[in-house]
Structure 1
Amino acid sequence: MNRFSRKQFLNQLIVLVSTLSLFGGESAISGKESKPVPKTIPIPEGETPVSENEPTAQALGFHQDAIKTDYNLYPDRKLPEAKNQFCATCSQFTKINEGWGKCNILSKGLVSNHGWCSAWSKRY
């Protein structure tokens, strides 16, 4: 059996940790927890998602993933009461399946349940 010296072991460990941090990004080694990635639901056949580059979507700060919201432009989005503001909880949203729905404002396609825009209004 081939034995490692302490120096070889430490060198291998440094290489391993460096590689994991490069590929893993935020990892348990660095002490940071990564946010869970929402389960991706396929878009219904024949439909297209609303483009974030569409003029109306840009004017409303729309993103298919609410985590990508520009907090400099929309600081209220960081407030605790805004933590549940997603397309799925908006009064303008009509659910199509578990991951997608229609928006009355952004009508040129489907929006993700996890999306957000500045026109969000509470569903009653």
Structure 2
Amino acid sequence: MIQQVDLVGDWGNAAGARVHMAADHSLTASGLTHAVPDYTCSPSITTGRWLFFAPHGSPNSYISSESATEGKSLTAEADLGTRLDCSLHAQVQHDDQGFNICLAIDPDQTCTAAELLRKASTRP
């Protein structure tokens, strides 16, 4: 589980995918095909919104939530009006290098190590 304060910031991978998650739930992105090779949305997400998924009703039911401040997964949706086919799911994971994000079209997809997004260094 990741807290919103830890999610906010710049994420990327060595192949050139970049995503900035802002505290106001906005996002900017570039090079998403370097994180989701089968991503064919045109135009690609360059600006949009992100929301954590939160429990809703039954134990296995989740919805995207404006008020959730932590989560294991989230959705990223493009600013394309009513086109919902340009949304991505993201699974937040933690390994020996810290948090990473796996972006996918289908929540059951997995990422290779090269596709994972990692938070940019915050060194001065």
TM-score range, shorter chain: under 0.3
More strand by share: 2
More helix by share: 1
- Using the size of structure 2 for normalisation, the TM-score is 0.27
- Using the size of structure 1 for normalisation, the TM-score is 0.27
